[in-house]
């Protein structure tokens, strides 16, 4: 992160963007509100706290104990959906940079392979599309955070203790994850329930809960590439 630098037509003239390499080292990605349904088709979705504010962020898990993204295999992202924060992970909004961008040169999506960011000294159409995409993503993530705030206000969030059993007899507990407290949803007074439904806060909550079944997919992906195998897990 310390290497973030404004995009420059001189310094980065030959830089290219490879969407297939994006997110190789990312273990989770923040999600926007509009991504919930599509991301849940591949990944478990849960909530984590922002380290600066303590507010809940919506994230898609892409690994369990591995220092790698389990979906990035064989040079590509092997899932039906790639979170936009993964695709755009190499870029930041920066009005002082070319095309209104800054870049993280260490991001695997940026290098000598892929689509060019500049045509000679002019930003390509791809570069021109990235800043608006980032702006949409920021707004979408903020909308997801507002929804999580709403769940928190209604006390619908509970810790998600995810415990993994490994073939070598070891155990690994993942702390700091949160999910929807279904019992609390069930116990909501009718008026609050209807208000949350009208505000479209309940359907996404149900998707989040259902997405936890994808932990099994992560377990399978882990066992295909890493040892010791994960033999079991619990989500209490």
Partner 1 sequence: MSDKYKGGQILLCAGTFGIEGGKRAGEDQVVETGVADTEVKRVVVVGGGSAGWIAACRLAAQVRRTGAGVGVTLIESRNVPTVGVGEGTWPTMRNTLAKIGIAETDFIRSCDAAFKQGARFVGWTDGTPQDGYYHPLNPPAGATEIDLAPHWLHRGEGDAAFADWVDYQAMLCDAGLGPKTIVMPEYAGHANYAYHLDAGKFATMLRDHGVGTLGIEHVLGDVLRPRMTDHGDIVHLELADGRNVAGDLFVDCTGFAARLIGGIYDVPFRRCGDVLFADRAIALQVPYDDEDAPITCHTVSTAQGSGWIWDIGLWSRRGVGHVYSSAHISDDAAEAELRRHVGTAAQGLSARRISIEAGHRTRFWQNNCVAVGLSAGFLEPLEASALMLIEASMDAIADRLPRNRAAMDVMARQFNATFTHHWMRIIEFLKLHYVLTKRTDTDFWRDNVAASSIPDGLVERLAMWRHHSPGPQDFDHAREVFSWPSYQYILHGMGFDSRQPRIDPSAPEAGLAQRFVTRMQRAKDELRTRAPRHRDLLRAIREHGLQRV
Q: Give me the residues that bind partner 1 (CB under 8 A), please.
A: 49-56, 152, 155, 157-159, 176, 178
Cβ proximity to partner 1: between 2 and 53 the closer is: 53
Give the closest residue to 182 by CA, choosing from 149, 205, 154.
205
50 or 216: CB nearest partner 1: 50
The rounded distance, in Å, linking the Cα atoms of 64 and 221 is 10
Q: Which residue has the tokens 């037509």?
A: 9
Report the residue number, 93 or 152, with the smaller CB distance to partner 1: 152
Q: Are 145 and 15 in contact (CB under 8 A)?
A: no
* Phi (first) and psi of residue 55, to 5 degrees: -75, 155
Nearer to partner 1 by C-beta: 70 or 157? 157
Shortest distance (Å) from residue 236 CB to partner 1: 14
Give the nearest distance from C-beta 54 to partner 1 in angstroms. Answer: 4
Q: How far is the CB of 200 from partner 1 (least distance, A)?
A: 22
Judged by DSSP in three states, 132 sits in helix
Q: Which residue reads 């980065």 in tokens? A: 12
Q: What is the arrangement of strands in the sheet containing 91-93, beginning at the earlier edge strand?
A: 5-6, 101-103, 91-93
Closest contact distance (angstroms) between CB of 134 and partner 1 is 24
* Kind of pairing between the strands at 5-6 and 101-103: antiparallel
Q: Residue 180 in contact with residue 151, Cβ under 8 Å? A: yes
> Shortest distance, CB of residue 162 to partner 1, whole angstroms?
15
Residue nearer to partner 1 on the CB measure, 188 or 229: 188
């Amino acid at each position: 992160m310390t290497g973030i630098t404004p995009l420059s037509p001189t310094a980065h003239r030959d830089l290219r963007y490879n969407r297939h390499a994006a997110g190789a080292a990312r273990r989770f990605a923040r999600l926007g509100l509009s991504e919930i349904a599509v991301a849940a088709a591949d990944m478990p979705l849960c909530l984590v706290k922002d380290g600066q504010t303590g507010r809940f962020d919506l994230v898609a898990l892409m690994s369990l104990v591995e220092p790698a993204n389990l979906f990035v295999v064989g040079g590509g992202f092997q899932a039906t959906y790639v979170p936009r924060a993964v695709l755009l992970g190499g870029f930041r909004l920066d009005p002082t940079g070319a095309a209104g961008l800054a870049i993280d040169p260490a991001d695997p999506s940026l290098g000598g392979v892929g689509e060019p960011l500049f045509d000679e000294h002019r930003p390509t159409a791809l570069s021109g599309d990235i800043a608006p995409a980032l702006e949409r993503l920021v707004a979408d993530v903020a909308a997801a955070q507002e929804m999580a705030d709403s769940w928190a206000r209604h006390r619908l969030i509970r810790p998600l203790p995810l415990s993994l059993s490994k073939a070598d007899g070891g155990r690994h507990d993942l702390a700091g994850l949160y999910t929807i407290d279904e019992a609390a949803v069930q116990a909501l007074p009718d008026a609050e329930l209807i208000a949350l439904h009208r505000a479209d806060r309940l359907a996404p909550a149900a998707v989040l809960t259902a997405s936890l079944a994808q932990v099994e997919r992560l377990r399978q992906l882990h066992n295909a590439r890493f040892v010791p195998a994960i033999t079991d897990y619990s989500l209490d």
